[in-house]
Amino acid sequence: MNVGQLSKLIGIAFLALTLQIAGQDKNEYSVQRTTMIEKQIVSRGVTDEEVISVMTDVPRHLFIDESQWPIAYSDGPLPIGHGQTISQPYIVAFMTELLQPDTHHSVLEIGTGSGYQAAVLARLVHHVYTIEIVPELGRSARQTLKRLSYDNVSVQIGDGYKGWPKEAPFDRIILTAAPEEVPQALVDQLKPGGRMVLPVGPRWWGQDLLVIEKDSTGEVMEKKTLPVRFVPMVHEQERKN
């Protein structure tokens, strides 16, 4: 065997090894996702098959820093920088189920964060409009979503309290940061027959997850579900101070 043939052979062996490691990696995360679904989500009562199927697929680890990949599928929120977190997988599943998404829906999310919740929704609805107030997080989520081909998500950097009037009204609205009171501007951007899922309450303590329904006459009904703990939904003014 001459030097050329030998180096070709080494090249092929190296490629095979790399592919095998990549394959193992992919496999390992999909096994972790299946365990997450069983142990954290189905065991706590989430039954929506579409939500379960989408969360079995969406690679949560790719929405966080590589240093956190080993714990990407653990049962809790994780830091994403700027004092913010990606929500606990169970909360993402529970809120998505409560939202009752459908393939023709246009959905507004407040609090893009890592982009993970937006990615899960993107697989279930027609279009997701998501707003993030921290520019670095908004830009990074936009890049991740683009890289992973979630083409039906639009990310805006701005103040979620204003909603997205240009694209309103929405079939569904979801908040992943907690305002102290229900923001009326967002209720106004909900379609008749629409549904909104949001944590509401004081900062860090005593928040409830609410479901708001607007009937066909525009009348609004509110229902409490779980006690929760979300990062606060801040006002633009506070960020500038």
Residues that bind ligand SAH (CB under 6 A): 84-87, 110-111, 113-114, 116-117, 131-134, 137, 159-161, 176-177, 231, 233-234
Helix (H, G, I), strand (E, B) or coil at 83: coil
Q: Closer to ligand SAH at the Cβ: 211 or 234?
A: 234
Helix (H, G, I), strand (E, B) or coil at 28: helix
* Residue 117 C-beta: closest distance to ligand SAH, Å: 3
Q: Closer to ligand SAH at the Cβ: 2 or 136?
A: 136
Contact status, residue 46 vs residue 52, Cβ threshold 8 Å = yes
* Residue 166 C-beta: closest distance to ligand SAH, Å: 16
Run of H or E residues at 63: none
* Residue 92 C-beta: closest distance to ligand SAH, Å: 7
How far is Cα 226 from Cα 221, in angstroms, rounded to an integer? Answer: 17
Contact status, residue 118 vs residue 141, Cβ threshold 8 Å = yes
Phi, psi of 230 (to 5 degrees): -115, 160
Q: Indicate which residue of 7, 43, 87, 154 is catalytic.
A: 87
* Residue 231 C-beta: closest distance to ligand SAH, Å: 5
Q: Closer to ligand SAH at the Cβ: 111 or 201?
A: 111
Run of H or E residues at 114: none
**43 is an active site residue:** no
Q: Closer to ligand SAH at the Cβ: 110 or 228?
A: 110
Residue 149 neighbours by CB under 8 Å, 6+ apart: none
How far is Cα 92 from Cα 46, in angstroms, rounded to an integer? Answer: 11
Which residues are identified as catalytic? 87
